[in-house]
Amino acid sequence: MSSMALKLLKPLGFPDKLNLASLIKALVVPMSGILIFLFIWNIGARNIHTSLGEFPGPAQVYEQSKNLLNEHNRERQKEADFYQRQDDRNAKKLAKNPDAEIKIRSYTGKATFIDQIGTSLVTVLAGFFAASLIAIPAGIVIGLNKTLYSAFNPVIQLFKPVSPLAWLPLVTMVVSAVYVSDDPMFAKSFVTSLITVSLCCLWPTLLNTAVGVSTISSDLNNVSKVLRLSWLTHVIKIVIPSAIPMIFTGLRLSLGIAWMVLIAAEMLAQNPGLGKFVWDEFQNGSSNSLGRIMVAVIVIGLIGFMLDRIMLMLQKKVSWDKSQELR
Amino acid sequence: MSTKTHLELTGVDIDFPTPSGPFKALSNVNLKIKRGEFVSLIGHSGCGKSTVLNIVAGLYQATKGGVLLDGKEVNEPGPERAVVFQNHSLLPWLSAYENVELAVKQVFKNSKTKAEMKEWIEHNLHLVHMDHAMHKRPDEISGGMKQRVGIARALAMEPTVMLMDEPFGALDALTRAHLQDSLMEIQADLNNTVIMITHDVDEAVLLSDRIVMMTNGPAATVGEILDVKLERPRHRLELADDPEYNHYRAAVLSFLYEKQRKPDEAAGQPEKNEKKAKSNNPAQKVLNTKQQDAEQRGEEAA
Ligand SMILES: Nc1ncnc2c1ncn2[C@@H]1O[C@H](COP(=O)(O)OP(=O)(O)O)[C@@H](O)[C@H]1O
Ligand SMILES: [Mg+2]
């Protein structure tokens, strides 16, 4: 009976025998890693003194994370109250005079830590999406054509290592000059962040797609030739599926870069998001600032980790090459 | 089998560009094949067998001379000359059924309905005894099964000529024997024109109407052609003791290991290649030791 249950669990990644050794491997080892880290952090923090006081240890950071959450809830409450008052006012007005003109204003509170996380996530996904939309088709075209590949390779290699900080002033100026409209659909700061992120995270996807496409086995190309597949069918049926593992390797790298770049861009350009939160706290310079920044650092790390796991899950789902170990 | 020429190679030369100048792989290859004929190409490794096949397939262009199929010049690949590749070349992300489907959809897109296509795909998978595993992907089936699907895919194109490049070369002897029997059955039914490359002498004699023996490269060409007049259907067990069969075997072996003996073999070079699984053909049991020696050396050279 129990061996039956084990057989059922096996495809889910459970080890053959749920013995002590595998349990230790799966749970205890990573946990003790974290504990050791917390211990060292705690000791280290007590011995570092800054102009803003002692470096925050785990306890302070935990405290600050609770504070940040409370601030967020308070802000939400204020917002709800504001709309409630406005609705009441308008209702009274309309009761007196049904034709009265009523004003509806939206609440302009300050963005909380949670809001900034939301902004950053939306921006990074939009930038990553835009980059992929350009990089995958471009990579396929470049990968299929040796001449194009040789022509563009130097350009790609040149721009690949450029830091976001170098792009940012240029992008800001160009967006200010070009993106003018009275009722913009997106804020300028959002567009600037998005373009900077796209420019920086384009390259891994582009290169990996191109390499994946250009290394299709000649046998599969011959199959396509014998069948006289049209160019489009060849690309859809042979090229893309065969390059999918490489494309996803590129996409994962790109998303990682996008997230790192975004935080830097937000800090530098004072664009809304987690980067701005860190910068504001730094400028603020209260005794809590370092703790709050540390919360942001951990959240940034967690989100980056989460994004990577999501990509890995997608990659495992679409990858046909089961012999390739993905981790 | 009609007597009219169906496929004709005339004065085929091919030069491959290499960094040290053009390399002449084939020189003046001439061959006439009748409709429904089963022809094997045999020769030492690297002599240019695949090159001949690729020229007929249209994947390579002859530098001089050319190929005529039913009077029309061959200058590009096409499904009427279906290829069974040595390493199956199935699309790894598609199931056996979908692999055949890709070919069927392309070849019969204007002439078969969806239901007819489905029936045709299943029919061809049935021919190669793959009904039970047709929704499995290549990495879920054995090497022999993959090769079967490759054959089903080629058959499903309803080709005028089937081109097979060492289709069973990578398989163990028992699987190979099974597939050879399947191929003979199918061939008896459909009477396709087939050109098959092989390095297995037994396979060549068992399956072929004619065996084309190629000289060593560079500038390889057709050395001898052997007509195999054994009656069909052929059964490997009965043939094992058949003097005529052994006569054909000996003829091919003598061409390969006496007339076209490789210089390094003659010098008795130490074995460097991994030994391949030895043929399980019962015919081998009646071989005298000299022949067995020769064959073994041949397998290592191939
Ligand atoms: N595309 C190519 N470019 C250069 N040389 C080639 C090419 N294809 C085959 N050759 C050469 O032609 C010769 C015959 O090759 P091949 O037809 O593959 O031999 P076989 O199939 O008989 O083992 C070999 O010497 C090989 O190196
Ligand atoms: Mg070959």
With contacts defined as CB-CB under 8 Å, which chain A residues touch B56? none
- Contact call for A226 and B89, based on CB within 8 A: no
Return the residue in A226, A227, A316 with the most chain B beta carbons within 10 A, the one to mutate for interface testing. A226
Residues of B in contact with A241 (CB under 8 A): 91, 93
Between B88 and A256, the higher pLDDT residue: A256
* Helices assigned H by DSSP within B76-193: 96-107, 114-127, 143-156, 173-190
**Least confident stretch, A305-309, A322-326, B154-158:** A322-326
* Structure confidence at residue B33 as a pLDDT band (50, 70, 90): very high
Q: Are strands B5-18 and B21-34 parallel, antiparallel or unpaired?
A: antiparallel
**Measuring CA to CA, how many Å separate B261 from each of B76, B247, B297?**
35, 19, 11
Q: What is the pLDDT of residues A196-251, one digit of tens each?
A: 999 999 999 999 999 999 999 999 999 999 999 999 999 999 999 999 999 999 99
How far is B153 from B123, CA to CA, in rounded Å? 11
Mean of per-residue pLDDT scores for chain B: 86
Q: Tell me what pLDDT residue A166 has.
A: 87
Q: For chain B, give the percent of residues with pLDDT over 90.
A: 72
Assess whether pLDDT exceeds 80 at residue A181.
no
- A222 CA to middle of ligand 2, Å? 15
Q: A42 is written with which tokens?
A: 């705690």
Take atom 21 of ligand 1 and give the residue whose Cα is closest: B50
Which 8-state DSSP code applies to residue A182? S
Q: In this predicted structure, what is the pLDDT of residue B271?
A: 42
Q: In chain A, pLDDT over 90 holds for what percent of residues?
A: 58
How many CB atoms are located within 10 Å of the residue B235 CB? 12
Q: Do the beta carbons of residue B41 and residue B197 sit within 8 Å? A: yes
Find the ligand nearest to B52 CA.
1
The span from the CA of B293 to the CA of A152, in Å, is 56
Q: Which residue in the set A226, A233, A322 is minimally distant from B57, CB to CB?
A: A226
Which pTM was predicted? 0.80
Question: Do residue A242 and residue B91 have CB atoms under 8 angstroms apart?
Answer: yes
SS3 state of residue A288: coil
Residue A320 has pLDDT above 90, yes or no: no
For residue A260, give the amino acid letter. Answer: M
- Average of per-residue pLDDT across B213-239: 92
Kindly state the percentage of chain A with pLDDT values over 70. 93
Interface residues of A toward B, Cβ cutoff 8 Å, are 217, 219-220, 222-223, 225-229, 233, 237-238, 241-242, 244, 320-323
Spatial distance between the Cα atoms of A269 and B89, rounded to a whole number of angstroms: 53
B106 neighbourhood in chain A, CB within 8 Å: 227-229, 233
Whole-number Å distance, alpha carbon A223 to ligand 1 midpoint, is 19
Higher pLDDT, residue A14 or B116: B116
Distance B150 CA to ligand 2 centre (A): 17
At A121-134, the pLDDT tens digits run 999 999 999 999 99
Lowest model confidence (mean pLDDT) among A183-192, A295-304, B25-34: A183-192
> CA of B287 to nearest chain A CA: how many angstroms apart?
37
What per-residue confidence (pLDDT) applies to A182? 74
Residue located nearest, by CA, to atom 16 of ligand 1: B48
Task: Tell me the three state secondary structure of residue A281.
Answer: helix
Mean pLDDT within A40-44: 92
Nearest-CB residue to A320 (from B81, B92, B106): B92
